[in-house]
Amino acid sequence: MNGPIDRPEALRTNAWDGAKALTQQLPPVSKWELKPQAFRAAQWLAPPELDEREWRNPAVGWGIVLPDNDTMGAVEKARGEDLPAPLRSLLLERPGSPILRFRADLGVGHLRRHYEDGCVQDLSAQGLTPGIGKGRVPRYLLIYASPVQIPWAVQYALNMSCCVGRLDLEGDELANYVEALVHGFDEVDARAPLVWSVDHGAPDITWLMARAIGRKLFHSYALDNDLQRRMWLGGADATSARLTLAIDEHRPALIVTTCHGLTGPLNDPDGLRATLGSLVDVDHMPLTSKALGLNAAAGAIWYAHACCSAGSDAETRYAGLLPVGGDVATMLTGVAAAAGATIAPLPRALLGRKRPIRAFVGHVEPTFDWTLRDPQNGQVVTHALVTCLWNEIYRSGIRTPIGLTLSRIYREAGSFLGGWRTAIENVNKAVPHARDWALYCQLVAMDRQALVILGDPTVALPPFVGA
């Protein structure tokens, strides 16, 4: 990490403003790479023989994270008396599961736990032995809050040590999801992974994503004799209509999409919020939450590699990276101002329907083309993602919960953050090219951390039919 690297003249994003893909010149020097933007990785102290897929094991555990409520007493907080009825029923179905509370004054890596005996503990989610016992934090955590109430940064930080999902549903939508979580989702075919990759040609980032993610995954599936009904939609077939038709015909348990995410119009906040992160097809038509045919996605896990496919934040973590006034900088600050901290409409609709999907995995920030390649040899650096969405998610025996499936991604973020710290030391020693390495490592770490799970982190693909 001491040699020269290929620092690009411009950064390309997987964001589409309604008229064009967004690209901006990268300044030769900035202060952004010198300030910590990502979060440290933590190591759980679980015994090595513990199977962390077994989330019902008290030594692994599952729990709910809520905003703290100062109007209630410790006992009421421990019992979750401020939870809506569907989540109280979920707690009954998962006895012993604790409720933890987020407080801004504790920071993003700590949670408060109340007990029915009146005891209160402020627990670090990093480096503890997992479980549901006193003084422990479960390995699997479901945040029940909007990103306004519990910021995305909390989810980013907790992902470094826990398996975290988020729900921001109310009323019938929440009841629909919990009903499926407890009694079973729609039947889907685990043998039929569907990969839909838009490709607008080089140098557009979709060309790179289609090869570095879409085709690599599909070629991996082709090596697996169990995945006989796999399907690839690329080129002219990467349309919204073909996607929904394929979902309806094949009922895939896993849907993987790579494309631009819609981030405009910035001058129409209501319009932006209504279509934020919509998947943009090969004809530049967005797949919105109201698209016909999406009911057939019920029961699937959907991975969407697109800008803002999961939502947006009130302040982008890339602020200061690019000069003000450029296309990408304007998009980043414009989306934050117009949409704020929110969940995108597509995953919200898919999770809250009468027949919901299992989980939606997407990004809160854009992906930059530079973060998908090694800056010295140009090779793609998506091995961890491909491993997660093939080897891990299809592991034999007990299916791997989606939260644990993606833990390799967050470990990779921690590895790049370690590289950033080394680069910063080299910057202080005036080592040549150290600033370029610091920028690259921190961009990759943030890209991986901005990947989030919407839905319960314990959901997993169903077993193969007849298995």
Question: Does 4 have pLDDT greater than 80?
Answer: yes
Displacement of CA 17 from its chain's centroid (Å): 22
> To 10 degrees, what angle do helices 171-183 and 345-352 make?
60
Place of tokens 């499936």: 405
Confidence band of 162 (pLDDT split at 50, 70, 90): very high
Question: Does 466 have pLDDT greater than 60?
Answer: no
The answer to whether residues 142 and 99 touch, using CB atoms and an 8 Å cutoff, is no
Confidence band of 467 (pLDDT split at 50, 70, 90): very low
Confidence band of 360 (pLDDT split at 50, 70, 90): very high
Question: Does 325 have pLDDT greater than 60?
Answer: yes
Three-state helix/strand/coil letters over 111-164: EEEECCCCCEEEEECCCCCECCCCCCECCEEEEECCCCCCCHHHHHHHCCCCEE
pLDDT of residue 450: 96
pLDDT of residue 46: 61
pLDDT of residue 36: 76
Q: Which residue has the higher pLDDT, 300 or 7?
A: 300
**Cross-strand pairs, 255:** 194, 302
For 7, phi then psi, to 5°, come to -85, 115
Average pLDDT, integer, range 83-112: 95
DSSP category for residue 24: E
Neighbouring C-beta atoms of residue 60, cutoff 10 Å: 24
What is the token pair recorded at 124? 């670090």
Rounded alpha-carbon distances, angstroms, from residue 384 to 53, 253, 440: 19, 21, 17
Average pLDDT, integer, range 210-229: 95
The domain limits of the chain are: 10-40+187-455, 62-183
- DSSP H/E element including 357: none
Categorise residue 250: left if φ over 0, alpha if ψ from -120 to 50, beta otherwise.
Answer: alpha
Question: Exposed, middle or buried by CB within 10 Å (0-12, 13-18, 19+), for 267?
Answer: exposed
- DSSP H/E element including 27: none
- The percentage of the chain sitting over the pLDDT mark of 90, rounded to a whole number, equals 86
pLDDT of residue 396: 81
**Residue-averaged pLDDT of the chain:** 93
Confidence band of 38 (pLDDT split at 50, 70, 90): low
For 424-449, give one letter per residue: b (16+ CB within 10 A) or e.
bebbeeeeebbbbbbbbbbbbbbbbb
The residue among 336, 398, 317 whose CA lies nearest residue 155 is 317
The answer to whether residues 190 and 253 touch, using CB atoms and an 8 Å cutoff, is yes
Question: Does 252 have pLDDT greater than 80?
Answer: yes
pLDDT of residue 119: 92
pTM value is 0.95
Lowest mean pLDDT among 42-46, 95-99, 287-291, 423-427: 42-46
What is the tens place of the pLDDT at every residue in 258-284? 999 999 999 999 999 999 999 999 999
Cα–Cα distance for residue pair 373/371, rounded to 1 Å:
6
Q: End-to-end CA distance of the chain: give it in Å, rounded.
A: 47
What is the token pair recorded at 43? 């190591």
Question: Does 441 have pLDDT greater than 70?
Answer: yes
What is the token pair recorded at 342? 């929110």
Instruction: Give the number of C-alpha atoms closer than 13 A to the C-alpha of residue 102, restricted to the C-beta side.
Output: 26
pLDDT of residue 279: 98
Residues 6+ apart with CB under 8 A from 230: 191, 192, 193, 194, 195, 218, 221, 222
Question: Does 30 have pLDDT greater than 80?
Answer: no
Question: Does 384 have pLDDT greater than 90?
Answer: yes
For 24, phi then psi, to 5°, come to -150, 145
- DSSP H/E element including 386: helix 383-387
pLDDT of residue 1: 59
Categorise residue 287: left if φ over 0, alpha if ψ from -120 to 50, beta otherwise.
Answer: beta
Lowest mean pLDDT among 403-407, 432-436, 455-459: 432-436
